Amino acid sequence: MLRQVEGSQAVAEAVALCRPQVICAYPITPQTHIVEGLGEMVKDGRLAGCEFINVESEFAALSVAIGSSAAGVRSYTATASQGILYMAEAVYNASGLGLPIVMTIGNRAIGAPINIWNDHSDSMALRDAGWIQLYAETNQEAADLHIQAFRLAEELSCPVMVCVDGFILTHAYERVDIPSQDEVDAYLPPFEPVQVLDVSDPVSMGAMVGPEAFFEVRYLQHHKQERALDRIPELAAEFAARFGRESGGLLRTYRCEDAETIVVALGSVNGTIKEAVDEMRARGQRVGSVALVSFRPFPLAAMRAALGGARRVVVLEKCLAVGIGGIVSDGVRKSLSGIALAGHTVIAGLGGRAITKASLVSLLERAARDELQLLNFLDLRQDVIERELGRERASRRSGPTAENILRDLGATAAGASPS
């Protein structure tokens, strides 16, 4: 049913339709509205047969989900930012144990400096933890990806993160088609665990594993993700057939046919990128874009097929791998092995810095003129950087960087929206 709802509410309703039996919640902005919505549905009986547990930390949230999933019930939690770092040890543990937990990430920057706004530093920090990572472009896709995520996770016995841009999606009110319970039930069968803590058939889980077997166990995690490369498009196709709309898949191309320049990005910024592509196309520029949905597993072949005909690729990343630059770019470059094609990394939108269509159009124009460097920073204020560097040169005790810059700008953190 089409409704005008907040992104978090749409995700909460989609998760509820998946009939989870244990949900554990710890508040962290901007994910909190999701578990609040679920908690209300459990408490008022709309989500029956589900245990909703308020825990004392993110580490406990995922640990509770590990226990409940190992005991054979569908388990869900959500987090963001510092929260996923605080639970990092359990993130690896859940995938190592092969527990099909689904977790929403309301993508947010990581401090210091503390910042509640959107970028992808949080989920990127755990990109190699053995979880499948799917990035939503719209609130509709955010809702739909959760339904697909439970099916994918449980088929493979592998946990899945659904990454939803904080505030931009989680707090935005948009029209979302919330499917019916019957539709979801027909798509998502009941959870049949491959391993379960059962008193009538005792097993030991989480044993100590030495050099004789650890390698194989770890390899099999990789093998699951390789199988996911096949299953993700199949599940998206089945979803489209049943629900009548495209959501998910490995990646989506936009006007890439005959494109000389192709922009690759994850998540909600693809909406703005498509606007910029349209504007460039209207000017006769051959530009296209690729929305990468599945970052783990990384679809090397599909990416190669999408980009192989272009002259240059611009990877727009909402995460700075300090000391090297881009993270998504590495995967894109790997996918293009042997293909001579100019590649540019653009770091953008850190800590919620707005990525505007104007900036993107300007960026694409520079790309078309071959003016981009290997590594670029979109709308980075060089004057601010220079002032701080000047302070550091002038005085040993130059003081705390973030506070210095805020003072320069005359801004407070809460009101900081650099124009």
Q: Is 158 in the site for other proteins (CB under 8 A)?
A: no
Give, to the nearest 10 degrees, the angle between helix 300-307 and helix 328-335. 70
Tell me which residue has tokens 């071959």: 370
Taken in order 353, 113, 385, 388, the sign of the CA dihedral is positive
In this chain, which stretch among 9-17, 85-93, 283-291, 394-402 interacts with other proteins, using CB under 8 A?
A: 85-93
Number of residues that bind other proteins (CB under 8 A): 43
CB atoms within 10 A of CB 165: 32
Q: Please give the C-alpha separations between residue 235 and each of 104, 117, 243, 292, 367, in angstroms, as whole numbers.
A: 19, 32, 12, 16, 36
- Of 184-203, which residues contact other proteins (CB under 8 A)? 197-199, 201-203
Min CB(228)–other proteins separation in Å: 23
DSSP single-letter state for residue 352: G
Q: Is 157 in the site for other proteins (CB under 8 A)?
A: no
Q: Is 221 in the site for other proteins (CB under 8 A)?
A: no
Q: Is 41 in the site for other proteins (CB under 8 A)?
A: no
Residue number, 197 or 406, with CB nearest to other proteins: 197
Q: What are the structure tokens assigned to 400, written together?
A: 């705390």
Min CB(38)–other proteins separation in Å: 14
Backbone region of residue 258 per phi and psi (left: phi > 0; alpha: psi in -120 to 50; beta: other values) = left
Among 5, 34, 41, 66, binds other proteins (CB under 8 A): 66
Min CB(109)–other proteins separation in Å: 25
Query: What is the distance between the alpha carbons of residues 5 and 15, in angstroms, rounded to a whole number?
Result: 15
Among 2, 182, 190, 210, binds other proteins (CB under 8 A): 210
Cβ pair 110, 125 in contact under 8 A: yes
Going residue by residue from 89 to 128, which x/- string records binding to other proteins, judged by CB under 8 A? xx--x---x-------------------------------
Among 8, 31, 32, 68, binds other proteins (CB under 8 A): 68
- Strand 102-107, strand 75-79: pairing: parallel
Binding site for other proteins (CB under 8 A): 21-22, 24, 49-51, 53-57, 59-60, 63-73, 75, 89-90, 93, 97, 197-199, 201-210, 213
